[in-house]
Chains A and B, each alone.
Chain A
Amino acid sequence: MSSEKPSIPSTGRGLRSSIVAALIFAAVTAGTAGAQGIDRPITAVLIYLTGVTVIGALSGLRTGVAAALAASVIYNFFLSGTAFRFGVTSADELVPLLAFNLSAVLTGALAGRLKDSERAARLAEAHSGFLLRVSDKLQQAIRTDEVARFAREAFPAEGVSDLEIFVARGSQLYALGGEGEPVPPLEALMSSGGSDISHRGFRVFELKGSSGQLGMVKFLIQGKADAGDNLPDLQGVANLLSMAVDRCILLERLSETRALQRSEELKSAIISSVSHDLRTPLTAIEAAASSLRSFPDSLPVEHKDTLLLTIEEQCRRLNQYTSNLLDMGRIQAGISPSQFDDVDVLDIVGVVLGSIRLMFPEQRIEKRFALTSAIVRANPAMLEQAIFNIVENALLHGRSLEPLEISIHAEGKYCTIAITDQGPGIAKDDQPHVFDRFYRSEQPANRRGSGLGLYIADGFIRAFGGAMALVSPVDDAGGTRMIIRLPLTQEPAIELTA
C-alpha cells in the first residue's frame, strides 16, 4: 500500500478547467476568424472542430456540448460567408454547415463523456484507496482506545479534517482516546473537536457491531459542508471503524477472561503452597516448643537439644519461604534497572559460597574460575539470591556428595556461570517446567521445597538481561548443569597505581 494520496477533483479544479476551456475557446475562435478572413473556410471549420474536441476532452460532457453549440452559433452568425446574418441561402451552404454543427456537438459530447467517465473512475479509485488505507491503519489496533488513534492518522484527508469516535458502554457514551469520562450524547454531537475550528460541518454515522449498536463516529468536514460529491465514502469508513471497534472489544474480553483465569490459577497455587509450606514448619515448631514446656524435667538433655534445633531450623525454613514469596512478588511487580549497579560476579559467587559452606560443611566444591573479575549490571542482593538458589537446588536435589563444580568464564560479551552436580539428573518430563512457579517434580525424592527457588533465580537473571539454561544429563553417569549467562558491561581495564 503506497502512502501517497490520489486527490479527488474538487470545485477549485472545476473553476480552473472552465477558465482553460474559455481560453481555448477564445483562441480557436480567433483562429477560425483569421482563417475565414483569408478565405480558408475548411481550415476555419477544422480549427473550430479541433478546439471543441479539446475542450470536451479536458472539461467533460457538459462543457463539450456547450462549446460545440457556442461554436456553431458563432460560426453561423458571425464568420460564415453570410456574416451577421443567421441563415443560409442555398442547399450547398446548408449541408457543410449542418455537418459542421453535428460533428462539433458529437465530438464535444463524446470527448466530454470520455473525460467524465475517466474522472468518475479516478474518484472511485481514490475513494477505495482511501478506504484501504484506513482499513490498513485500523488493522494495527488491538485495544479499543487505539482504534481512534490509528484512524485519526489517516486524517486530515479528502476534505475531512478529523474524526471523533464515541463508544457506548452501558448507557453512557465515551470518547475513544478521551479522558475516560462519559460524554453526554448531545455534547458528543455538538462538540467542535477541540480547538480546531477550521472545519465547517460534520457527518455522524452509527457504529454497528455483531452485538448491536457500538456507538457513533463523527467526521469533521473541512471547507463547505455541502461539498458532498467529493467526500470519501464516509459510510464505508464508518463500517470499517465498526468492525475494528467490534474486534477490539472482543479481544479485550478474551484477554480479560484469560487474565482472570491465570490469576485464579495463581491464587489457588499460592493458597495450596501457603497452607503446606507455612503449616509444616509451624506444626514442627509448635510441637517442639510445647514438648519443651510440658516435659521440662522428663526429657533427656540431648532430646531437648534436638527439639530446640528443630525450632531454629524450621524458623529458617519459614524465613526462606516468606522471602521466596516476597521475591515472587518483586518479579511480578517488575524489577526496575534503577536498582542495578555494577557488580562483580566473582565477588557475589564468593558470598554465596560462604553461606553454602556453613549450610553444607561436608560438601566438596570445585571452582573453575577463568576470570579474575566479571562485571555485570545487576542488583547485587538479587544476584546473590539467584546464584544461591541455584547452588542450593543443586545440592538438595542433586543429592550427591560428589564435588559440585562451579565454573565462571567469558563467552564474547557474556559471562557464563555453570553449576554442575553429579546427582541423578532431572527427568525429561520435568525439564521444561523447572523454572515454573510452584512447580515441584512428581518424583517423591524431589518434592521438597516450595517450587519457587529456580523460578526466582530465572526471574532475577532475566531482569538483569541474562538467561538461564539447563543440561541434564551432563554425561552417561547423569548429573545436571545449570547455566547462567549475563551480559558483561564494557568496563575499561583499570591500571592500579598505588
Chain B
Amino acid sequence: MNILIVDDEPSIIAALRPVLQAQGHSVATSATAREALAQAGASAFDLVLLDLGLPDADGIEIIAKLKRLTSAVIVLSARHQESEKVRALDEGADDYVNKPFGIEELMARLRAAQRRLDQQHDDRHASFASKELQVDFTRRSVIRLGEEVKLSPKEFELLEVLCRNAGQVVTQRKLLIAGWNDPAADGQYLRSYIALLRQKLEYDSSEPEMILTEPGVGYRLAVTF
C-alpha cells in the first residue's frame, strides 16, 4: 500500500517508517495538516495514518478532505478520548488505533483496511469467511464452525455490516442506520440484538471473542484467518 503518515512527532515516524517499509509498503510523511492535504492531493495514497494532535489544525477537521483524496484514513488517538474517536469516525475515518500501540495491533488494523479496500474493488464480493464464520451476503446464510446458524433478518443486517468491516470498528450510529435506518434510534434495541447475535455465535456470550465491544464507540468483529 501507499501509506502517508501524518504526525508532527519525528520519533513516531522514525519508529513506524522502517517497519511499514519492511512489510512492503511505500511510506511518505508530513508533519502538518496543510502539508498532508497537499501531499494527498498530489499523489494517490491508499491509506493515511493520521495523528489528531497536529501543530496547525485539529486532525479531525481534515478527515473529510483526506477521505476525498485517499481510500482509507486510520486515526491515531489517545485512550479515554472516546468522543473524539466517535467524532473522527463520523467524519469518515475508517478506524482508530489507541496510542501507545504495539506494532502488531497497528498491522492488524492495516490488514483490515487493506481487506476492505480489496473488497470495494471487487463488486462481486458477496461473502465473508474467517476461521470460525462463513457468511454469504446474497443467500443470507451464516455458518459457524461448519454448522448453519439461523438469524432473523435484523440480526443478519447487523452481522453483515460487521462482516463487511471485519476487523474495523463500526460505530453505534452506523449500526443503527443499518438496522433501523435511523441514527437516533434507541441504543437499547441495538444492545439487545447484539446480545442475541452473541448468544447464537459466541462460545460464551458473557465473554465475547467474535463480536467485541469498544466501550463508548461501537463494535468490532474480531477476525482470525
Contact = CB atoms under 8 A, between A and B. Distances in A.
B213 A351 contact: yes
Nearest to A326: B80
B212 A346 contact: no
A381 B207 contact: no
Interface in B119-148: none
A348 B154 contact: no
A106 interface: no
A375 B188 CA distance: 9
Contacts, number: 71
B209 interface: yes
Range of interface residues on B (Cβ < 8 Å): 20 to 34
A326 B79 CA distance: 10
A440 to B, nearest CB: 24
B212 A354 contact: yes
A171 interface: no
Interface stretch (B18-26, B39-47, B68-76, B191-199): B191-199
Interface string B196-209: 10000000001111
Given A346-B206, A347-B213, A498 B152 contact: yes
Given A372-B195, A491-B188, A498-B153, A323 B209 contact: no
Given A339-B83, A381-B216, A353 B188 contact: no
A315 interface: yes
A234 B221 CA distance: 77
Most chain A C-beta atoms within 10 Å of own C-beta, residue among B153, B188, B196, B212: B188
Contacts of B192: 373, 494, 496
A496 B136 CA distance: 24
Contacts of A379: 82, 216
B189 A494 contact: yes
In this complex, the member of B102, B154, B189, B207 whose beta carbon has the largest number of chain A beta carbons within 10 angstroms is B207
Contacts of B195: 372-373
A312 B193 CA distance: 38
Contacts of B193: 496
A351 B218 CA distance: 12
A463 interface: no
A349 B206 contact: yes
Given A319-B100, A347-B191, A494-B189, A380 B207 contact: no
Nearest to B198: A350
A343 B214 CA distance: 12
Interface in B64-121: 79-80, 82-83, 100, 102
Nearest to A344: B191
A79 to B, nearest CB: 97
Contact of B100 (A315, A354, A384): A315
Given A342-B187, A354-B207, A348 B213 contact: yes
B8 interface: no
A369 interface: yes
Contact of A380 (B100, B189, B215): B215
A369 B63 CA distance: 42
Given A350-B206, A496-B192, A496-B193, A384 B215 contact: yes
Contacts of B208: 350, 354
A350 B188 contact: no
A353 B212 CA distance: 12
Contacts of A494: 186, 188-189, 192
Nearest to A498: B152
A382 B212 CA distance: 17
Most buried by A among B154, B188, B207, B215: B215
Interface in A341-385: 341-344, 346-351, 353-354, 357, 367, 369, 372-373, 375, 379-385
Interface string A479-498: 00000000000010010101
Contacts of A354: 207-209, 212
Nearest to B202: A350
A353 B207 contact: yes
Given A354-B209, A372-B195, A498 B154 contact: yes
A389 to B, nearest CB: 13
27 contacts: A326-B80, A327-B80, A346-B206, A347-B191, A347-B215, A348-B213, A349-B206, A350-B213, A351-B213, A351-B215, A353-B207, A354-B207, A354-B209, A367-B206, A372-B195, A379-B82, A380-B215, A381-B79, A381-B82, A381-B216, A383-B215, A491-B188, A496-B192, A496-B193, A498-B152, A498-B154, A498-B155
Given A326-B80, A381-B82, A496-B192, 14 more contacts: A346-B206, A348-B215, A350-B207, A350-B208, A351-B212, A354-B212, A375-B191, A380-B216, A381-B215, A384-B215, A494-B188, A496-B196, A498-B152, A498-B153
Interface of B: 79-80, 82-83, 100, 102, 152-155, 186-189, 191-193, 195-196, 206-209, 212-213, 215-216
Q: Which 4 A-B pairs have the closest CB atoms?
A: A498-B152, A380-B215, A380-B216, A381-B216
